[in-house]
């Protein structure tokens, strides 16, 4: 991330006007596919997804190789570690239950190091090692790179936490186990408008993350449709540490809430600086990018009492959640997973393994078909159906409130079903 | 993009100067080393990064560990952190000079430059082996006792609007109390209300919104600037350190040695000046100043995350600031730093948030086109 910051800074001198011109307005070319489909149901687009034309990869040897990509270093390490641990857990269970056709699954791990270009090379390394499917990634910007590499070889990709709306349009090989930004954005807009009674909201977007850009847009669209007003928009880049300029501009617009669509790494300092700038009563809201206990460390008292959208909650009563937590705790010294990416990593891997069982043959093309036929898969994060879903399952979203570590960090407040928000 | 909002301009100027003071502190280190050795010390940003870590460890040592921080603090803690940071950075600067630059001193200048880049990369990536960097830690906000602001009114607020807002307060308190009482009585969650609770919630929210809108209007009728105490301390410390530096360079013996070495390296050594110790001293002071900047940046801008790339962008910008002011020129570095901070903040003020980092380089190119020696530098053309 930081290397790209540096090169971006250098590039900007040369390409300054063009580079910034296309991101400055919060509208990138990539957003277009999501835009002209107002009738599309919440949860993905209706675009026709291209079929990968490659021959596919056959599973050879005594084991079936599956890859998983996550950040084992850098800012997103909490997510990477959790999702990979979840993936390993799913594979262990699968192998313990006998594998498929007498073959065991071997899980190969790739490190994306919190950088999109590293995610791409990690995926390519896994492909060269003969994997027939890739699980990952958590970040949308990373997953797009993985998806592009996998598309050429007709290898399936099951994304863990990548919520960018247009992601699955990359090809039929791309699916995910999480909801999309055109669902969680509207969920937070509805929550802000109906439940918190907010009417004037400012938005802060991380211009380096496609995830953040998409989420800000879907939040703003719905919030305006509900009758609210977006009083101001400010932009920053991942890695920035001081936000006084942007906060001063937003503060002058007197918002009653701020929507921070970026990742927890910047949201923490933003929250502190917002409070220091005198916006004491302004409610802070965000998406699943907030999901890490690290948020409490960098956000301090300033972030307590804010709300964000998440995939599931450890306190849920469903048997899948209880069973998952029991096994997880046994393997991790009695500790619950810190982020929901553990459960999503587990779900994504398990879903791919489930596809393996149903696949007509043990090759990547049959696996793509099997994964796209998934129906009512009992995931920890809820039931997942990919059949006829264009790669985007209908999931529910939970709005949680941020509390101190001692009070359990995330306290469940309200659930929204997939059809509840349009 | 948004039109220009004149009411926020004074505040943004303050923000810019405060930001610029950090750049100025780092820029001083670049400029001092360049002045004496004609070497661009690319590892300077990494010294800044180590300074932030030193402050972090000092704060942990004082008991402000994540999630478990003591509450309340005092200025002594900040002073300890500042000294820890300055000392460690000073030492590191000396070590870098002794082991990386001194062996290269009689080689072509490009060799030193590449060594500098090497040291920079070594600290960035080598640091990841033993410094906590992912997830990136930050100094706990509780260590900073100066969280509040000094507000300076420029134009008084409209009294009638304030009274109007005050009148709405009673209703807000009353409706909120009614809703809270309902919640306590029924033990319902405010987000899963039964039908009976809905109107109470709506009333409370409407009253609060009316109050906040009125308050906002009252506030907007006046004009004031907000000076965050922590960042004001940062500015004052910067000014004091600069004054000390200026005194040191202009009025003391080591300072005279430094100027002599800067003027003519060989002649100075022929005149009996111990050039080696002068250079060591230069690195010691320059690096300690970067340490001070790092500690204040990481402490007073709460929540600032620290990783091994922490010094990269500030380092680049401070370098630009040094060149902008005229590299080798001490007041120039300060002027350049402040100008950089202002330029960056004013770009955000004008609504072009994404140009923030690019502006540093645009300004640099423009200045170098018209004044190659920098704003306060000499226009002497150097023969290469």
Q: Is the pLDDT of residue B304 over 80?
A: yes
In this structure, are A188 and A112 located in the same domain? no
Which candidate from B190, B305, B358 shows the least CB-CB separation from A12? Answer: B358
Q: Is residue B171 domain-shared with residue B83, that is, in the same domain?
A: no
- Tell me if A40 is assigned to some domain: no
Are A157 and A83 members of one domain?
yes
SS3 call for B7? helix
> Chain A contact for B280, CB < 8 A?
no
Tell me the Cα Rg of chain A.
21
Specify if A412 maps to a domain.
Answer: yes
Region A119-137: mean pLDDT is 94
* B32 and B103 both lie in a single domain: yes
Examine the predicted complex and report whether its ipTM is higher than 0.85: yes
**Closest C-alpha among A331, A380, A397, A410 to residue A191:** A397
How many residues in chain A?
422
Q: Confirm whether A229 is domain-assigned.
A: yes
* pLDDT (tens digit per residue) in B2-16: 467 788 899 999 999
Q: Are residues B97 and B216 in the same domain?
A: no
Q: Which of B252, B280, B308 is the last residue of a domain?
A: B308
What is the structure's pLDDT at B8?
A: 87
With a CB cutoff of 8 Å and minimum separation 6, the contacts of A410 are A291, A310, A313, A314, A400, A401, A402, A403
Measure the CA dihedral A140/A143/A145/A151, to 10°.
-130
Q: What's the CA gap between B169 and B361, in Å, rounded?
A: 50
Per-residue pLDDT of A254-298, as tens digits, reads 999 999 999 998 999 999 999 988 888 899 999 999 998 889 888
CATH code of the domain covering residue A294:
3.40.50.2300
Q: Per-residue pLDDT for B313 more than 60? A: yes
**How confident is the model over B22-35, as a mean pLDDT?**
89
Angle ∠(B133,A408,A297) on CA atoms, nearest 5: 25
Q: Are residues A403 and A263 in the same domain?
A: yes
Q: Are residues A248 and A104 in the same domain?
A: no
Question: Do B33 and B136 lie in a common domain?
Answer: yes
Q: Is residue B280 in some structural domain?
A: yes
Q: A5 in contact with B at a CB cutoff of 8 Å? A: yes
Are residues B140 and B51 part of one domain? yes
Helix axes B253-263 and B9-37, enclosed angle (nearest 10):
70
Mean pLDDT, rounded, for B75-83: 93
Cβ–Cβ < 8 Å for A190, A288: no
B190 contacts A195? CB cut-off 8 A = yes
Cβ of residue A10 closer than 8 Å to a chain B Cβ: yes
Decide if A70 contacts A158 (C-beta within 8 A). Answer: no
- Same structural domain for residues A76 and A172? yes
Residue A7 lies in a domain: no
Query: Is there a contact between A74 and A263 (Cβ–Cβ < 8 Å)?
Result: no
For A309, phi then psi, to 5°, come to -100, 130
What was the pLDDT predicted at A44?
61
pLDDT band at residue B35, thresholds of 50, 70 and 90?
confident
Q: Does A81 have pLDDT greater than 60?
A: yes
Q: Which two tokens stand for residue B185?
A: 């009585």
**Domain match, B253 and B213 both:** no
CA B48, B49, B53, B56 torsion-angle sign: positive
Torsional sign, CA B145, B149, B152, B158: negative
Burial B90-112 (b: 16+ CB within 10 A, else e): bbbbbebbeebbeebbeeeeeeb
Number of neighbouring beta carbons within 10 Å of residue A146: 31
pLDDT tens figures, B93-149 = 999 999 999 998 888 888 988 999 999 999 999 998 999 887 788 898 888 888 888
A225-248 pLDDT, tens digit per residue, is: 999 999 999 999 888 888 989 999
Mark whether A137 and A187 lie in a shared domain: no
* pLDDT at B34 (0 to 100): 87
Report the domain count for chain B: 2
Nearest to A281 among B212, B219, B358 (CB): B212
Q: Could you say which of B135, B301, B354 has the minimum Cβ distance to residue A294?
A: B135
Cα B62 to Cα B84: distance, rounded to the nearest angstrom:
12
| Prediction pTM value | 0.84
B298: tokens are 């990481």
At residue A23, does pLDDT exceed 60? no
Q: What distance in Å separates the CA atoms of residue B372 and residue B180, rounded to the nearest whole number?
A: 67
Q: What is the pLDDT of residues A130-181, one digit of tens each?
A: 999 999 899 999 999 999 999 999 999 999 999 888 898 889 999 999 998 8
How far is B37 from chain A, CA to nearest CA, in Å?
A: 26
In a domain, B46, yes or no: yes
**Domain limits at B249?**
21-148+228-308
pLDDT above 70 for A21: no
Q: Does B301 touch chain A (CB under 8 A)?
A: yes
Partner A contacted by B141 (CB < 8 A): yes
Same domain assignment for residues B232 and B216: no
pLDDT in tens, B221-279: 888 888 888 888 888 988 898 889 989 988 999 999 998 988 888 899 899 899 999 99
What tokens were used for B349? 């003020």
| Cα separation values, B82 from A146, B89, B166, B234, B338, Å | 45, 11, 44, 11, 22
C-alpha–C-alpha distance, residues A37 and B108, integer Å = 63
Model pLDDT for residues A186-225, shown as the tens digit of each residue = 999 999 999 999 999 999 999 988 889 999 999 999 999 9
**Which one has a higher pLDDT value, B69 or B186?**
B186
pLDDT at A5: 45
A350 occurs within a structural domain: yes
Q: Check whether residue B215 and residue B279 sit in a common domain.
A: no
Residues of chain B with Cβ-Cβ distance to A12 below 8 Å are: 355, 357-358, 361
Q: Does the beta carbon of A114 lie under 8 angstroms from any beta carbon of chain B?
A: yes
Which helix (H) or strand (E) element contains residue A67? strand A63-70
Residue B92 half-sphere exposure, CB side, CA atoms within 13 Å? 26
B46 to chain A nearest CA, in Å? 13
Does residue A35 belong to any structural domain of this protein? no
Are A115 and A374 in contact by the 8 Å Cβ rule? The answer is no
**Most A-contacting residue of B173, B302, B361 (CB-CB within 10 A), to test interface:** B302
Confidence tier at B189 by pLDDT (50, 70, 90): confident
Nearest to A248 among B8, B213, B302 (CB): B8
Asked if the structure places residue B57 within a domain, the reply is yes
| B381 within domain boundaries | no
pLDDT value of position B3: 60
Closest listed residue to residue A306, CA positions, set A346, A357, A272, A350: A272
How many Cβ atoms sit within 10 Å of the Cβ of residue A404?
A: 13
B117 and B240 housed in the same domain: yes
Do residue B162 and residue B113 come from a single domain? no
> For residue B277, what are the CA distances in angstroms to B273, B283, B305?
9, 10, 36
Task: Write out the two tokens for B60.
Answer: 């942990």
Q: Do A20 and B18 touch (CB under 8 A)?
A: no
- Pairwise CA distance, residues A236 & A168, whole Å: 27
CA-based nearest residue to A307, from A321, A294, A295: A295
Give the integer Cα–Cα distance in Å for A115 and A70: 10
One domain for residues A188 and A303: yes
Show which of B277, B308, B339 is a domain's final residue.
B308
One domain, residues A408 and A299: yes
Contact B288, B87 (CB under 8 A): yes
- What's the confidence (pLDDT) of residue B251? 92
Residue whose pair of structure tokens reads 């204040």 in the numeric block: B296
Q: What total of structural domains would you count in chain A?
A: 2
Interface touch B138/A239, C-beta < 8 Å: no
Q: What is the pLDDT of residue A13?
A: 41
Contact flag B141-A249 (C-beta cutoff 8 Å): no
Q: How confident is the model over B158-188, as pLDDT tens digits?
A: 888 888 888 888 888 899 899 989 988 888 8
d(Cα B339, Cα B321) in Å, to the nearest integer? 8
Is there a contact between A238 and A1 (Cβ–Cβ < 8 Å)? yes
**Residue numbers of A between 292 and 321 with CB closer than 8 Å to B:** 292, 294, 296-302
Domain boundary, last residue among B275, B308, B341: B308
Q: Are A16 and B189 a contacting pair at CB < 8 A?
A: no
- Maximum CA extent, chain B: 93
Residue B15 included in any domain: no
Whether B136 sits inside 8 A of A24 (CB atoms) is no
pLDDT of res. A6: 46
CB-CB under 8 Å, A78 with B141: no
Question: Same structural domain for residues A158 and A225?
Answer: no
Q: Determine the average pLDDT of the residues in A78-93.
A: 94
Same domain, B209 and B240: no
Same structural domain for residues A369 and A266? Answer: no
The DSSP call for residue A105 is: E
Least confident residue range of A5-19, A217-231, B303-317: A5-19
Residue B320 counted as domain residue: no
| One domain for residues A211 and A279 | yes
| pLDDT band with cut points at 50, 70 and 90 for residue A7 | very low
Is B4 contained in some domain?
no
Tell me whether residue A63 is exposed, middle or buried, using C-beta atoms within 10 angstroms of its C-beta: 0 to 12, 13 to 18, 19 or more.
middle
Categorize the per-residue pLDDT at A126 as very low, low, confident or very high, splitting at 50, 70 and 90: very high
| A380, A343 Cβ separation under 8 angstroms | yes
Distance of CA A159 to the CA centre of its chain: 8
Same domain, B183 and B243: no
What letters, b where the CB count within 10 A reaches 16 and e where it falls short, cover B192-209? ebeeebeebbebbbebbb
Give me the pLDDT at residue B378, please: 59
A137 domain residue, yes or no: yes
Same domain, A168 and A187: no
Structural domain for A84, as ranges: 63-179+318-391
Residue whose C-alpha is closest to residue B249's, from B276, B273, B285: B285
Binding-face residues of A in 185-204 toward B, CB within 8 A = 195-197, 199
**Does residue A37 sit within a domain?**
no
Decide if B51 is inside a domain. yes
Average pLDDT over every residue of A338-363: 93
Q: Closest Cα to residue A138, out of A216, A84, A215? A: A84
Q: Where are the beta strands (DSSP E) in A261-372?
A: 283-286, 307-310
């Amino acid at each position: 991330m930081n290397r790209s910051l540096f090169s971006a800074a250098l590039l900007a001198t040369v390409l300054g006007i063009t580079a910034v011109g296309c991101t400055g307005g919060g509208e990138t070319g990539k957003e277009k596919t999501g835009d002209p489909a107002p009738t599309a149901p919440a949860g993905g687009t209706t675009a026709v997804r291209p079929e990968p034309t490659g021959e596919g990869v056959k599973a050879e040897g005594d084991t079936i190789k599956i890859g998983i990509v996550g950040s084992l270093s850098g800012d997103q390490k909490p997510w990477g570690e959790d999702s990979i641990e979840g993936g390993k857990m799913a594979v262990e269970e699968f192998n313990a239950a006998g594998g498929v056709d007498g073959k065991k699954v071997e899980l190969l791990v790739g490190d994306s190091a919190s950088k999109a270009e590293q995610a791409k090379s990690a995926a390519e390394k896994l492909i060269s090692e003969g994997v027939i499917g890739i699980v990952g990634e958590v970040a949308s910007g990373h997953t797009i790179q993985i998806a592009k590499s996998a598309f050429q070889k007709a290898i399936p990709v099951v994304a863990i936490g990548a919520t960018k709306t247009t992601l699955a349009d990359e090809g039929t090989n791309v699916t995910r186990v999480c909801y999309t930004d055109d669902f969680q954005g509207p969920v937070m807009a509805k929550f802000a408008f109906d439940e918190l009674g907010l009417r004037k909201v400012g938005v802060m977007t991380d211009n380096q993350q496609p995830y953040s850009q998409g989420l800000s847009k879907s939040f703003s669209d719905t919030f305006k449709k509900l009758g609210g007003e977006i009083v101001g928009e400010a932009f920053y880049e991942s890695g920035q540490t001081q936000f006084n300029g942007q906060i001063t501009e937003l503060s002058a617009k007197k918002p009653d809430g701020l929507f921070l669509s970026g990742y927890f790494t910047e949201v923490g300092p933003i929250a502190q600086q917002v409070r220091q700038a005198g916006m004491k009563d302004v409610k802070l809201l965000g998406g699943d990018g907030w999901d890490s206990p690290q948020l409490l460390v960098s956000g301090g008292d300033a972030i307590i009492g804010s709300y964000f959208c998440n995939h599931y909650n450890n306190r849920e009563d469903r048997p899948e959640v209880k069973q998952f937590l029991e096994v997880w705790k046994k393997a991790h010294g009695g500790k619950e997973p810190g982020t929901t990416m553990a459960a999503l990593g587990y779900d994504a891997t398990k879903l791919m393994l489930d596809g393996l069982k149903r696949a007509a043959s043990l090759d990547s093309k049959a696996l793509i078909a099997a994964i796209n036929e998934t129906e009512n898969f009992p995931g920890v994060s809820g039931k997942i159906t990919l059949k006829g879903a264009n790669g985007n399952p209908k999931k529910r979203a939970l709005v949680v409130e941020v509390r101190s570590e001692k009070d359990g960090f995330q306290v469940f407040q309200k659930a929204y079903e997939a059809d509840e928000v349009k | 993009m948004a039109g220009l909002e004149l009411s926020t301009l004074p505040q943004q100027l303050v923000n810019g100067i405060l930001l610029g003071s950090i750049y100025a502190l780092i820029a001083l280190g670049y400029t001092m080393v360049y002045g004496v050795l004609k070497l661009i010390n690319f590892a300077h940003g990494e010294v800044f990064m180590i300074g932030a870590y030193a402050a972090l460890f000092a704060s942990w040592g004082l008991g402000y560990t994540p999630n478990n921080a003591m509450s309340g603090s005092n200025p002594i803690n900040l002073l300890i952190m500042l000294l820890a940071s300055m000392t460690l950075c000073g030492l590191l600067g000396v070590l870098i000079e002794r082991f990386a630059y001194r062996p290269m001193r009689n080689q072509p200048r490009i060799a030193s430059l590449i060594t500098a880049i090497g040291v920079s990369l070594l600290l960035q990536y080598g640091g990841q082996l033993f410094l906590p960097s992912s997830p990136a830690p930050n100094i706990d906000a509780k260590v900073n006792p100066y969280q509040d602001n000094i507000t300076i009114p420029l134009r008084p607020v409209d009294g009638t609007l304030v009274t109007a807002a005050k009148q709405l307060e009673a209703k807000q308190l009353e409706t909120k109390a009614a809703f809270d009482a309902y919640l306590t009585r029924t033990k319902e969650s405010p987000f899963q209300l039964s039908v009976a609770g809905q109107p109470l919630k709506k009333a409370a929210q409407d009253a609060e919104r009316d109050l906040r809108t009125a308050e906002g209007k009252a506030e907007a009728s006046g004009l004031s600037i907000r000076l965050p105490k922590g960042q004001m301390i940062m500015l004052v410390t910067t000014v004091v350190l600069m004054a000390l530096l200026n005194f040191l360079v202009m009025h003391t013996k080591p300072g005279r040695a430094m100027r002599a070495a800067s003027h003519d390296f060989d002649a100075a050594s022929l005149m009996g000046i111990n050039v080696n110790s002068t250079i060591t001293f230069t690195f010691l002071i320059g690096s300690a100043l970067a340490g001070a900047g790092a500690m204040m940046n990481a402490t007073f801008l709460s929540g600032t995350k620290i990783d091994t790339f922490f010094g990269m962008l500030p380092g680049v910008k401070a370098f630009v600031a040094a060149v902008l002011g005229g590299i080798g020129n001490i007041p120039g570095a300060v002027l350049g730093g402040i100008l950089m901070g202002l330029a960056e903040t004013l770009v955000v003020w004008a609504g072009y948030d994404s140009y923030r980092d690019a502006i540093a380089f645009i300004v640099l190119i423009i200045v170098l086109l018209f004044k190659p020696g920098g704003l306060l530098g000499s226009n002497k053309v150097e023969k290469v």
